[in-house]
């Protein structure tokens, strides 16, 4: 039996615009090969930096384009090594590991269905050393799929101003919205003073290009640029130039319009199947992104369940990997087909219902 994976937060192969990217890659090598095949600016391919700067209404000197946005997070973690960072719980597991490896002290603040709990944030701000920054994924959060409400976004920006708190808004999923109205980003609400913004073309074009970016205060951008030089001299310019060519041809919006229904069909298949197969569980209902957060009955343990999931032909990531409770799990609907999702959730339902022999 082939395992159906709800563990992989990656796009389904049909979401990747392969032919168009092949054409863009060829075009940039032919047009600007001597630049993109050489060393260049450590901050990224200049035309792409300028495009991103214009999109966010900042000077290009505030934009750092990295080999995937996680690489930028590694630089930021190095810059703030030994300091204290607040983050929402649960949160994406890779930043947890990156921050721990850099010797950053991590303080978790609880979330509910409406995103980060601001009372908890105020408590964390009132005790201990001033944090270097707050790391948050306000839209279609990884792993929970939750989105911070507009009201809380405004209050969070007010709190950042009151406490002179830097906030890192990690926003790779914001454009991958299938329905509902997009709330303003924290960056837009703040005007880019207290909010650092990171995003990526991994979910909007293709993850294998490894193109992510940060919008930072100019001083911090220069500091991270220095770390970039000593790490890789120049990021991979061919991927960045290919992304730029894609954008220059106005292909981003049509591509988003193409992938939104592909992903929405998967999200719908998962929600409908959960309704049918897991009557005693609860789950998030995201309007976009890649993930649904599953909460089984109290006392359930998804790590134990995962140990038996292999033979049942389904996989997922236990919530504890993200700092969540033992009865939670992250289900990615992005990769497998709607039919596989229906079958995978059926397998998951049987697994949960199965009595455990001791």
Ligand X SMILES: Cc1ncc(COP(=O)(O)O)c(C=O)c1O
* DSSP code string of 87-151: EEES--HHHHHHHHHTTPEEEEEEEETTEE-HHHHHHHHHSSSPPSEEEE--SS-TTT-----HH
Do 244 and 47 touch, CB atoms closer than 8 A? yes
Q: How far apart are CA 75 and CA 178, in angstroms?
A: 32
Q: CB nearest ligand X: which residue?
A: 68
Q: How far apart are CA 142 and CA 198, in angstroms?
A: 14
**Shortest separation between residue 351's beta carbon and ligand X, angstroms:** 25
DSSP summary character for residue 211 = E
d(CA 177, CA 91): 20
- Minimum gap (Å) between residue 168 Cβ and ligand X: 10
Q: Return d(Cα 78, Cα 153) in angstroms, integer.
A: 28
Q: Which residues bind ligand X (CB under 6 A)?
A: 9, 68-70, 92, 137, 142, 170, 172, 200, 202, 207, 212
Calculate ∠ Cα 264-265-271, nearest 5°: 85
Q: Is the CB of 159 or the CB of 176 nearer to ligand X? A: 176
Nearer to ligand X, 69 or 251 (CB): 69
Minimal distance, residue 141 CB to ligand X, in Å: 7
Q: What is the smallest separation between the CB atom of 255 and ligand X, expressed in angstroms?
A: 16
Question: 244 or 352: whose CB is closer to ligand X?
Answer: 244
Q: Minimum distance between the CB of residue 11 and ligand X, rounded to whole angstroms?
A: 10
Say which DSSP state 65 is in. Answer: E
Q: Residue 8 and residue 132: Cα distance in Å, rounded? A: 31
Nearer to ligand X, 138 or 338 (CB): 138
Closest to ligand X by CB, 52 vs 278, is 52
| Minimum CB–partner distance for residue 104 and ligand X (Å) | 16
Nearer to ligand X (CB atom), residue 262 or residue 351 = 262
| Among candidate residues 73, 91, 89, 188, the one with its CA nearest the CA of residue 133 | 73
For the bound state, the minimum distance from the C-beta of residue 212 to ligand X, rounded and expressed in Å, comes to 3
Please identify, using beta-carbon distances, which residue of 80 and 135 lies nearer to ligand X.
135
Where are the alpha helices (H) located in 249-299, listed in sequence order? 252-277
């Amino acid at each position: 039996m082939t395992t159906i994976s709800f563990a992989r937060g990656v796009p389904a192969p049909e979401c990747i615009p392969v032919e168009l990217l092949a054409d863009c890659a060829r075009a940039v090598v032919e047009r600007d090969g001597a630049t993109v095949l050489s060393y260049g600016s450590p901050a990224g391919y200049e035309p792409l930096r300028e495009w991103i700067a214009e999109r966010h209404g900042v000077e290009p000197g505030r934009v750092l384009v990295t080999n995937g946005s996680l690489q930028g997070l590694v630089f930021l973690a190095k810059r703030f090594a030994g300091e204290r960072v607040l983050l929402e719980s649960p949160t994406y597991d890779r930043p947890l590991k990156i921050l721990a490896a850099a010797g950053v002290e991590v303080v978790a603040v609880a979330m509910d269905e409406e995103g980060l709990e601001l009372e908890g944030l105020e408590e964390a701000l009132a005790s201990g050393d001033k944090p270097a920054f707050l790391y948050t994924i306000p839209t279609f959060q990884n792993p929970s799929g939750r989105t911070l409400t507009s009201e809380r976004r405004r209050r969070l920006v007010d709190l950042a101003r009151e406490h002179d708190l830097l906030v890192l808004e990690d926003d790779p999923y914001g454009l991958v919205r299938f329905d509902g109205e997009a709330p303003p980003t924290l960056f837009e609400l703040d005007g880019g003073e207290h909010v650092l913004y990171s995003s990526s073309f991994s979910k909007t074009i293709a993850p294998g290009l490894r193109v992510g970016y940060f919008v930072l205060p100019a001083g911090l951008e220069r500091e991270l640029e220095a770390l970039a030089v000593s790490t890789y001299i120049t990021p991979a310019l061919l991927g960045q130039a290919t992304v730029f060519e894609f954008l220059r041809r106005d292909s981003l919006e049509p591509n988003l319009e193409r992938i939104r229904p592909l992903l929405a069909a998967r999200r719908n298949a998962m929600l409908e199947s959960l309704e049918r197969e897991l009557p005693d569980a609860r789950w998030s209902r995201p309007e976009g992104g890649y993930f649904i957060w599953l909460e089984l009955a109290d006392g359930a343990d998804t790590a134990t369940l995962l140990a038996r999931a292999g033979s049942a032909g389904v996989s997922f990531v236990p919530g504890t990997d993200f700092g969540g409770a033992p009865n939670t799990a992250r289900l990615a609907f992005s990769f497998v087909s709607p039919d596989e999702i229906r079958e995978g959730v059926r397998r998951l339902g049987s697994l949960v219902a199965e009595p455990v022999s001791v």
